[in-house]
């Protein structure tokens, strides 16, 4: 949901999958995995050279939190995945923090 990619996309071959794709690039290269349609122009800032766009720090923190949950929920083994009650609790905490 956050990447705009499907688990069946052609880019995922030779043992590569959506979970691994995100895990390898997370969190330092969040911009490479994030669906650009999810972030409005207002959530980005243009740094001094005028060419590179970065996320506003609070937006980036929010997205990192969501990606962490997504990674835990998409573990290959169901035993390693976060319980839905815990997911709901974490999402509510994130919402309260970032909408405060």
pLDDT in tens, 43-85: 554 444 445 566 667 778 888 999 999 999 999 999 999 999 9
Report yes or no on 68 lying in a domain. Answer: yes
pLDDT at 47: 42
Domain residue limits at 42: 18-99
Instruction: Quote helix, strand, coil % in the chain, to nearest 5.
Output: 55, 5, 40
pLDDT at 38: 78
Collapse the DSSP code of 59 into the 3-class scheme (helix H, G, I; strand E, B; otherwise coil) and give the result.
Answer: helix
For the chain, give the mean pLDDT: 84
Provide the percentage of residues in the chain whose pLDDT is more than 90: 46
Report yes or no on 5 lying in a domain. Answer: no
Residues 28-44: tens digit of each pLDDT: 988 889 888 877 665 55
Report yes or no on 24 lying in a domain. Answer: yes
Report yes or no on 8 lying in a domain. Answer: no
Report yes or no on 40 lying in a domain. Answer: yes
Report yes or no on 63 lying in a domain. Answer: yes
Tally the domains of the chain: 1
Instruction: Count the neighbouring beta carbons within 10 Å of the beta carbon of residue 71.
Output: 15
DSSP 15: T
pLDDT at 46: 43
- Is the bond into 64 cis (omega within 30 degrees of 0)? no
Report yes or no on 11 lying in a domain. Answer: no
Report yes or no on 86 lying in a domain. Answer: yes
């Amino acid at each position: 949901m956050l990447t705009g990619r499907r688990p069946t996309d052609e880019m995922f071959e030779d043992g590569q999958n959506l979970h691994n794709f995100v895990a390898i690039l997370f969190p330092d290269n969040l911009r490479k995995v994030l669906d650009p349609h999810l972030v409005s122009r207002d959530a980005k800032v243009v740094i001094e050279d005028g060419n590179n766009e970065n996320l506003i720090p609070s937006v980036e923190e929010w997205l990192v939190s969501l990606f962490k949950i997504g990674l835990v929920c998409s573990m290959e083994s169901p035993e390693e995945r976060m319980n839905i009650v815990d997911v709901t609790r974490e999402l509510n905490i994130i919402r309260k923090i970032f909408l405060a």
